[in-house]
Amino acid sequence: MTTTMKPGRFGVFGGRYVPETLMANLIELEAAFEAAWEDKSFKADLAATLADFVGRPTPLYFAERLSGEWGGRVFLKREDLTHTGAHKINNAVGQALLAKRMGKQRIVAETGAGQHGVATAAACARLGLSCRVYMGALDCERQQPNVARMKLLGAEVFPCEGGTRNLKVAINEAIRDWVAHPNETYYLLGSAVGPHPYPTIVRELQSVIGIEAREQFSRREGKLPDAVIACVGGGSNAIGIFAPFLDDKVALFGVEAGGDSPQHGSCTLAHGRPGVLHGAFSYVLQDGDGQITGTHSIAPGLDYPGVGPQHSALKDSGRVRYEIETDETALAAFHELSRIEGILPALESSHALAFARRYLRENKGKTVIVNLSGRGDKDLPSIMARSTGLPARDGGANAR
């Protein structure tokens, strides 16, 4: 279940819809990744980097007090404890090692919440690679700590104005840069979106989450959990934890951002329809004329009008159920975990927690693993503004 039915496709989804100038680069990247993935020395370098630099394996934490409150058993896969504070580092170090193997010295990346940008900047600093990160101007405003971290790590941060001023615009600009400098540049894409082979590369690099979680839970409990839950924007943390469970009798739930109401959020799989965005055929939020529509979420990493093509296939097959949580329910789950367990989750992860609470209250006694994809330090300005009634840097109407 972790492989495509044919190269570059997940059922009808996926493919390469890019300018002709990039086709050679994508073909080169596909061949380079396949060779690296079969190379024991590359795998050894990656494993050592994940252990010594990233801090893997991350714990699978039993949230005992939260479990008592919610009426089931809650385990948290603690990706918030990785170096740089989120799952994004797993993919960033893997692709940075691949870029260096390919002889690329200039890295461009996009970021929404800033975590992929920070992870990429850290990976490039470690390997001595040049790094430029594109970030929506709105996201620069609401994620200022991460902007500062990227700059301290040696990255050039380019704020992207125009349009929605969020992740979609950042991806557009990163792709434009790559088109303009195709030979010397490696585009280090941060989510399981984009043209083939990126969705496959990102899934394989992020599957370490699910591989560890499955082994850790089985060793502790002697069985598998009832459900695995993860938030979904582009979908990298979700496909990373889902992939090793796809052939198991385990319920899988992806949780999209409903914003201030499910009709005004970033619910691509709930409200979108198939179309092409950023080089791949997938579910996309679009109007009747096929124009991409605006999105909104208090969580910048979920504020995106598309989704990875494998998630689109998993939705249509019914293997994964995709649910919606709003800003309000995510914030409530954020505060519950913080006060009950002493853990500040990212607002993205808080959407998964909110659904876990709802699921357990409807299914008493069940056991779930929630992918705690990142920590909440980056979100404190938005959270504190909401708490005090001040205008929050969470996009609001400007993000739509």
Quick one: pLDDT at residue 245?
98
Whether the bond between 57 and the residue before it is cis, its omega within 30 degrees of 0, is yes
Of the residues 67, 282, 349, 373, which is catalytic?
Answer: 373
Q: Which of 79, 110, 256, 336 is catalytic?
A: 110
Long-range contact set of residues 170-175: C-beta below 8 Å, sequence gap at least 24: 170/110, 170/111, 170/112, 170/134, 170/135, 170/136, 170/139, 171/110, 171/134, 171/278, 172/278, 173/110, 173/134, 174/108, 174/109, 174/110, 174/134, 175/18, 175/278, 175/279
Q: What is the distance between the alpha carbons of residues 38 and 262, in angstroms, rounded to a whole number?
A: 43
Structure tokens that stand for 78 in this block: 């603690």
pLDDT at 389: 57
Task: Please list the pLDDT of the chain residue by residue as tens digits (400 residues).
Answer: 444 457 799 999 999 999 999 999 999 999 999 999 999 999 999 999 999 999 999 999 999 999 999 999 999 999 999 999 999 999 999 999 999 999 999 999 999 879 999 999 999 999 999 999 999 998 898 888 899 999 999 999 999 987 778 888 999 999 999 999 999 999 999 999 999 999 999 999 999 999 999 999 999 999 999 999 999 999 999 999 999 999 999 999 999 999 987 677 899 999 999 999 999 999 999 999 999 998 889 998 898 999 999 999 999 999 999 999 999 999 999 999 999 999 999 999 999 999 999 999 999 999 999 999 999 998 898 898 887 655 444 443 333 2
Nearest to 111 by CA among 95, 89, 139, 135: 135
The whole-angstrom separation of Cα 370 and Cα 356 is: 7
Q: Which residues have a Cβ under 8 Å from the Cβ of 17 and sit 6 or more positions away?
A: 195, 276, 279, 280, 281
Catalytic status, residue 88: yes
What is the rounded CA–CA span in Å between residue 211 and residue 374? 18
Q: Among this protein's residues, is 69 annotated catalytic?
A: no
Q: Are strands 73-78 and 367-372 parallel, antiparallel or unpaired?
A: parallel
Q: How many CB atoms lie within 10 A of CB 52?
A: 10
Angle made by CA atoms 168, 307, 231, in degrees to the nearest 5: 105
Q: Catalytic site residue 151? A: no
In this prediction, residue 4 carries a pLDDT of 47
Domains and CATH numbers, the chain: 24-50+88-202 (3.40.50.1100), 57-85+206-399 (3.40.50.1100)
Selecting among 88, 100, 315, 378, the annotated active-site residue is 88
Question: What's the N-to-C CA distance of the chain in angstroms?
Answer: 36
Give the whole-angstrom CA distance, residue 24 versus residue 276. Answer: 20
